[in-house]
Amino acid sequence: MNFRIKDDLRIIRSFFEISQDELATALRVEKLRIARTESGETYPREDFLDLIYSYAFNNNLRLNLQKEMFYKDDLEENHILLTHASKNELIGRIVVNSGKANNDFGSGFYCGDAYDKSASFVSRSLSSCIYFLDFNPEGLNKVVFSVNQDWMLAIAYFRGKLNNYKEHKHIKRIIDKVKNADYVIAPIADNRMFEIIDQFIDGLITDEQCKHCLAATNLGLQYVFLSDKSIDNIKILEKCFISSSEKAYYVDKQLEFQKQGYDKTKIARIEYKGKGKYIEELLK
């Protein structure tokens, strides 16, 4: 699937009210390259794509965020707009086992509920892109997690951190729910979250400390598709280009967010010290 550069180029020029000549001058390229790209006569290389989309972003046109809003406006009733951040292009039919086995909920097709969160996760990758997806949940079985004890234990299990407790009835109950679902909705966990969960599994903090530390890192929701039936209810709407300028912006935002999250988790550990149960007490 190609990027919609022909349509996007027309939008960019119309938005800034500039001619092909003026855009060519701003980008320091020949007008013919602009004209052929906008007419669809040629499809540009990645360096030229980056030039065009970086121009828009650097001039405060957040094109992909605008697309997200319009797609949400046009969704059918009860459908959900999702994003899939990819370091590689999606080729052919989406496969349910595309994720790594030690991801949050095992091997599955992982999506997010917000463009900016997805862009942050791949902002350091050179050839990454974002897909907008139309998801119809009708007729599917789901499991929904919030930032709670079951969510913490589920992630720890699928990340291979609960080998000593995998036969415990509480763990089996949680995992059976996941394995019987077509898809899972749960808070997103990043590397910082895994470190906190590890501290809980290692008996260094209580479940209450862990839960409030994780809640402080709010990264949005992820949709994890676990069955072929759920994949059949996904329609790819568009593949979006993330320019180098946009990636740099999200790298900075991620660093800022991480600093805020670190401060919040530090306070949460202090505030909830001694409250709740340690892993040995919980799964005795």
**Same-domain check for residues 88 and 146:** yes
CB 158 within 8 A of CB 105: yes
**Same-domain check for residues 105 and 187:** yes
Domain count, the chain: 2
Tell me if 166 is assigned to some domain. yes
- For 180, the domain range is 77-282
Tell me if 29 is assigned to some domain. yes
* Model confidence at 263: pLDDT above 80: no
* Model confidence at 194: pLDDT above 90: no
**Same-domain check for residues 219 and 100:** yes
Characterize 132-144 residue by residue with b for buried, 16 or more Cβ atoms within 10 angstroms of its Cβ, and e for exposed. bbbbbbeebeebe
Tell me if 67 is assigned to some domain. no
**Same-domain check for residues 35 and 146:** no
**Same-domain check for residues 110 and 53:** no
Mean pLDDT of the chain: 89
**Same-domain check for residues 54 and 81:** no
Ranges 8-12, 47-51, 70-74, 119-123: which has the least confidence: 119-123
Q: What is the mean pLDDT of residues 141-146?
A: 95
CB 130 within 8 A of CB 64: yes
Provide the pLDDT for residue 104: 84
**Same-domain check for residues 275 and 211:** yes
Could you read off the pLDDT of 223-237 as tens digits, one per residue? 999 999 999 999 999
Provide the pLDDT for residue 172: 92
Q: Look up tokens 């994003």; give the residue.
A: 83
Could you read off the pLDDT of 55-72 as tens digits, one per residue? 999 999 999 999 999 999
**Same-domain check for residues 35 and 138:** no
**Same-domain check for residues 104 and 197:** yes
Q: What is the mean pLDDT of residues 139-150?
A: 93
Provide the pLDDT for residue 18: 96
Tell me if 121 is assigned to some domain. yes
**Same-domain check for residues 148 and 20:** no
Tell me if 217 is assigned to some domain. yes
Last-in-domain residue among 13, 28, 61: 61
* Model confidence at 217: pLDDT above 80: no
* Model confidence at 87: pLDDT above 90: no
Tell me if 69 is assigned to some domain. no
Q: Supply the CATH number for residue 22's domain.
A: 1.10.260.40
**Same-domain check for residues 181 and 216:** yes
Q: Look up tokens 């340690």; give the residue.
A: 278
**Same-domain check for residues 112 and 170:** yes
pLDDT band at 117 (very low <50, low <70, confident <90, very high): confident
